Amino acid sequence: MKSFSPEEVAQHNSASDCWVIVNGMVFDVTKFLNEHPGGKKVLLKMAGKDASKQFKSFHNDAIMQRVGLPMQIGVVGTVATATTVSNLVSAPQAKFGEGLPYSDPTWYQDWNSPFYNESHIRLRKDVRAFVDKEVTPFCHEWSEAKSIPRSIIKRAAELGLLNAGSGAATNPAAKGLMPYPLPSGVSAEEFDIFHEFICVDEVARCGSGGFLWALMGGLSIGLPPVINFGSKEMKERVVPGCLSGDKIISLAITEPSGGSDVANLQTTAKDMGDHFLVNGEKKWITQGAYADYYTVACRTGGPGMAGVSLLLIERTMPGVEARAMDAQGMWGSGTSYITFEDVKVPKTNIIGKLNYGFKYIMHNFNHERIGIVMQANRFSRVCIEEAFKYSLKRKTFGQTLVEHAVIRNKFGHMIRQVEATHAWLESVLYQIKTLPVKEQPELLAGPIALLKAQSTQTFEFCAREAAQIFGGLAYTRGGQGEKVERLYREVRAYAIPGGSEEIMLDLGVRQAMKQAAAIAKSKL
DSSP 350-402: EESSTT-HHHHHHHHHHHHHHHHHHHHHHHHHHHHHHHHHHHHH-EETTEEGG
* Closer residue to ligand HEM (CB): 58 or 475: 58
Closest distance to ligand HEM from the beta carbon of 68 (Å): 4
Q: Are strands 13-14 and 17-22 parallel, antiparallel or unpaired?
A: antiparallel
* Closer residue to ligand HEM (CB): 26 or 429: 26
* Closer residue to ligand HEM (CB): 22 or 330: 22
* Closer residue to ligand HEM (CB): 452 or 489: 489
Give the C-alpha separation, 418 to 102, whole Å.
9
* Closer residue to ligand HEM (CB): 43 or 462: 43
Q: Are 500 and 260 in contact (CB under 8 A)?
A: yes
Q: What is the DSSP letter of 132?
A: I
- The length of the chain in residues reads 524
Coil, strand or helix at 303 = coil
Q: Are 498 and 507 in contact (CB under 8 A)?
A: no
Q: How many CB atoms lie within 10 A of CB 432?
A: 20
Give the C-alpha separation, 374 to 437, whole Å.
20
Closest distance to ligand HEM from the beta carbon of 390 (Å): 12
Closest distance to ligand HEM from the beta carbon of 502 (Å): 38
Closest distance to ligand HEM from the beta carbon of 8 (Å): 17
Closest distance to ligand HEM from the beta carbon of 17 (Å): 15
Closest distance to ligand HEM from the beta carbon of 29 (Å): 6
Element (H, E) at 337: strand 336-346
Q: Could you give the dihedral angle defined by the CA atoms of residues 24, 30, 35 and 39, in that order, rounded to the nearest 10 degrees? A: 70
Which of 212, 213, 363, 372 is closest to 297 using CA atoms? 363
* Closer residue to ligand HEM (CB): 33 or 503: 33
* Closer residue to ligand HEM (CB): 201 or 385: 385
* Closer residue to ligand HEM (CB): 36 or 237: 36
Three-point CA angle 335, 340, 343, nearest 5°: 140
Nearest-Å Rg of the Cα atoms of the chain is 25
Closest distance to ligand HEM from the beta carbon of 465 (Å): 21
Give the C-alpha separation, 301 to 308, whole Å.
6
Closest distance to ligand HEM from the beta carbon of 35 (Å): 9
* Closer residue to ligand HEM (CB): 46 or 265: 46
Element (H, E) at 511: helix 501-522
Q: Are 87 and 98 in contact (CB under 8 A)?
A: no
Which of 379, 388, 367, 336 is closest to 437 using CA atoms? 367
Q: How many CB atoms lie within 10 A of CB 53?
A: 10
Q: Give me the residues that bind ligand HEM (CB under 6 A), please.
A: 20, 22, 27, 29, 36-38, 42-43, 46, 51, 54-55, 58-59, 63, 67-68, 478-479
Closest distance to ligand HEM from the beta carbon of 479 (Å): 3
Closest distance to ligand HEM from the beta carbon of 225 (Å): 42
Give the C-alpha separation, 452 to 424, whole Å.
11
Q: How many CB atoms lie within 10 A of CB 498?
A: 21
* Closer residue to ligand HEM (CB): 36 or 363: 36
* Closer residue to ligand HEM (CB): 38 or 256: 38
Q: Are strands 2-4 and 72-76 parallel, antiparallel or unpaired?
A: parallel
Closest distance to ligand HEM from the beta carbon of 472 (Å): 9
Spatial neighbors of 491 by CB under 8 A, at least 6 apart, are 329, 456, 459, 460, 463
Closest distance to ligand HEM from the beta carbon of 22 (Å): 5
* Closer residue to ligand HEM (CB): 35 or 110: 35
- Which residue sits closest to ligand HEM, CB atoms considered? 38
